[in-house]
Structure 1
Amino acid sequence: MRKYVLEEYVLNEYNASSKAREDVSHFVLQSGFQSIAKNDKRKFRKSKFFKLLLALAIYGKLFIRLNKNDILFVQTSSKVLEGILKLKKIKNFKIIYLIHDIFPIRYDDAKAHKHEIDSEIKGLNQCDYIICHNGKMADRLEELGCTSQLIPLTIFDYKTEAFIPKDRPLTVPCICFAGNLGKSPFLEKLDLCIDPSLVQFHIYGMPKPQYSNLSYCGSLPPERLPLEINGSYGLIWEGSYEVWEENNYLRYNNPHKASLYIAAGLPIIVWSKAAVADFVREHKLGICIDSLDELEEKVTSVRQDEYQMFRANCLKLRPGLIEGIHIKKALNRILDMEEKRCRASC
């Protein structure tokens, strides 16, 4: 049983998607998988022609090298996966597919989005193992008809060498938010509502905004953020200021910024019904809120000893997180299952 990984690299535009894929490739290689090809789109993101040539080159390498019962780890786009699945039918290898984003599962009315959902599930069902974000995502995928073996990741790992100071004094609480600011309109209303004498904000990302009460701290490469980010908490929020449970993707996914904040030693503030809120509660990593209206009250009521407990728990998880413990555990679980299957069939 030979183990291969299709390495995945996308253009780094100071967002989490490129960092997450690069880190996963790194940790999978550390787990004993051999690189079979690199899906490296950093140099020609906007060229469909060169993307096509790259995909064809990848398919050629897979066809030549993969044989029956070999294992291929992929985390690529659905279009590239579609071609790999066609090769799988010919060569009969195994596929481990890691989900980064699968937006159609957010819809409560599955019938109204049947075509979109069925298209995603059809591809997943042709894979042997699916590494999904968490148990709630696994339950939702099963509910929508996914029959492949589902392995919850729990949380994404975050490769960094950044030094984390031992103490962050909690005087005036400072909340950090890092992400795509163009997709974070809630910040505009927060800028009008927040009292900077009670709670301060440090904002990281692009495009550059104009705020009155929130401090913009620039855009930094993801690998530098754990070192440079400066504050008391890290906020996980998406979309508008007002939050609705209906069709909310946070109910199922693990935002990569949760891993960033833990890697930076920052306690987390998150919507109480987000999937990652379960992880925050279980490990006592921060505060869960029902709405941004209660943000000031919740943060200012945290005692110093309580905050230091949140911080200590983040730092406790950090060593495993930056070494890839979660993806490695998922892979080991899959490989154990494959070995048992092979022994049973021999």
Structure 2
Amino acid sequence: MTKYVMNVGLEQTNNAMSKAKTDVTYFASHNLDYQPINFPTLKSRRKRILDSKKIIREKLKDFHSNDIFLIQTPTYLGRFFTSMLLKTLQQKQVKTIAFVHDIDDLRFKRREPWKNNQYEVKFYNNFDVVIVSNSNMAKFFRKNGYKGKIAILGIFDYLVEEIEWQFPIKKKVNVINFAGNLKKSEFLWQLNPKYYSLDLFGNISEEQLKKLKLNVKYEGSFNPNEIVNKVRSGYGLVWDGNSRFPTNDDRLLNYERVNDPHKVSLYLTSGIPVLIWEKAALAPFILKNNVGKTISSLDDIYTVISHITDAQFLQMQQNAEILSKKLRTGFYTENAIKNAEKLLEGE
């Protein structure tokens, strides 16, 4: 039996999309002896239809019955390509594991009426096992028609290449770090921080730069390997959506009810505590491991951090450093894949 992991050649950018999948490929291959199979990106629908059969035949030529193929989804190769890939794997009697990074039909508002949550989730019935981020996502899968076996990740790991490692300053300071796509994070410009400073990391527009308020500082855009040493103090903020308050129609914030935001892993790998929405799927993980606090809205930030003592902050920081080692070495990825393999064997 040979184990393979699908690696799609996504463009390396200063964001989490390619980072998370690259890390899974690395930990699966280095920790668990999976062989990476590189697939090219197929940007046009025409190319996907014309080239799919040829590419799949070439990539799967050495696959045999009872081999294992770990496929990270969404593949962004198109539904036509992915369907043909799975059909070929089934014909070869290869066992398949889906490692789910995102549920795009839930994450983005689709225009086509046939693209709904049940359609995307039921598609995963073509896999033998799925690895989902957390128990909330597992419940979502069950509710929307998935009938197969489920393994749970817990939190995304975060590989850091060999650099001079620096944990943050061991002192409580009222600094809030936010890393992400600043262009879509309009809620940041609704804040008026008086009693804390807000440090921003990521892509920003010229117009947004001109709107920076007192106590708000733009720190720059860095690749995922560099930024862990740029976040040096305070807390990491996890929030998404259109407003500093949660609303029922805020699709992006409500997505955090089932999703594991990759920025949580960034902050914890950097060794800083996290501030996260109280209804986020990862909120129980943060509280259980004592590596942060929950907030009901962004207006809660100062109230929450002002009630944290120096000793409490240092304890959360110490706990974050312990988690950091696990995240940097692929602890959660390795465990989830091992559990998925046991499910394949019927355990």
TM-score (norm: length of structure 2): 0.87
Task: State the alpha-carbon separation in 2 of the partners of residues 106 and 38 from structure 1.
Answer: 26
**Residue 224 of structure 2 aligns with which residue?**
222
Which digits, 9 at most, give the CA deviation of each residue in 1:31-90, with x for residues without a partner? 11112x21244xxx8666666777555412344122222110111235342221121232
Instruction: Give the 5 Å matches for 1:324-339.
Output: 324-339=330-345
Aligned partners of 2:272 and 2:114: how far apart in 1?
Answer: 40
After superposing the two structures, state which structure 1 stretch, 200-209 or 267-276, moved more.
200-209
CA distance, structure 1, for counterparts of residue 118 and residue 47 of structure 2: 29
* Aligned residue number for residue 13 of structure 1: 13
Write the deviation string for residues 180-213 of structure 1: whole angstroms up to 9, x where unpaired: 11221101101xx211xx2001100002432123
Gaps of 5+ in 2: none
Q: Cα–Cα, structure 1 residues 340 and 137, in superposed 2: closer, same or farther, change >3 Å?
A: closer
Distance 1:175 1:148, change over 3 A: same
Residues 1-346 of structure 1 correspond to what in structure 2 (within 5 A)? 1-30=1-30, 31-35=32-36, 37-41=37-41, 55-56=52-53, 58-75=55-72, 76-77=75-76, 79=79, 80-105=81-106, 115-161=115-161, 162=163, 163-165=165-167, 167-171=169-173, 173-190=174-191, 193-195=192-194, 198-208=195-205, 209-210=208-209, 211-213=212-214, 214-240=216-242, 241-245=244-248, 247=251, 248-340=254-346
| Cα distance change of structure 1 residues 83 and 243 upon mapping to structure 2, 3 Å threshold | same
1:115 deviates by 4.1
* Structure 2 Cα separation of the partners of residues 125 and 340 of structure 1: 17
AA partner of residue 124 (structure 2): L
Give 1:102's aligned amino acid.
Answer: I
Letter in 2 for 1:242: F
Task: Give the superposed CA RMSD.
Answer: 2.3
Q: Structure 2 counterpart of 1:218, which letter?
A: G
Structure 1's 310 and 70: CA in aligned 2 closer, same or farther, altered over 3 A? same
- Which moves more between the two structures, 207-216 or 270-279? 207-216
Contact 1:104–1:113 under 8 Å retained in 2: no
> How far apart in 2 are the matches of 1:116 and 1:252?
16
What is the percent sequence identity of the aligned residues?
A: 29
Which residue of structure 2 aligns with residue 344 of structure 1? Answer: none
8 Å CA contact 2:128–2:344 kept in 1: the answer is no
**8 Å Cα contact 1:271/1:289 also seen in 2:** yes
Asked if the contact 1:38–1:58 (Cα under 8 Å) also holds between the matched residues in 2, the reply is no
CA distance in 2, matches of 1:144, 1:123: 11
Which amino acid in structure 2 is aligned with residue 334 of structure 1?
A
CA pair 313-53 structure 1, distance change in 2 beyond 3 A:
farther
- Provide, for residues 207-247 of structure 1, a one-character-per-residue CA deviation record: whole Å limited to 9, x for no partner: 24321231000100011111122331100000122212555
Deviation sequence 1:273-312 (CA, Å, 0-9, x none): 0001111011011110001111111112211001001101
Question: So what's the TM-score if we normalise by structure 1?
Answer: 0.88
What letter matches 1:2 in structure 2?
T
Taking a change above 3 Å as real, the CA distance of residues 16 and 166 of structure 1, as seen in their structure-2 partners, is: closer
**Residues of 2 paired with 1:179 and 1:303: CA distance?**
28
Work out the CA distance in 2 between the residues paired with 1:2 and 1:282.
37
- Between the aligned partners of 2:189 and 2:130, the Cα distance in structure 1 is 38
Give the 3-state SS of the residue equivalent to 2:20 in structure 1. Answer: helix
| Distance change in 2, residues 1:204/1:126 (3 Å) | same
Could you list the runs of 5+ residues in structure 1 that have no partner in the other structure?
342-346
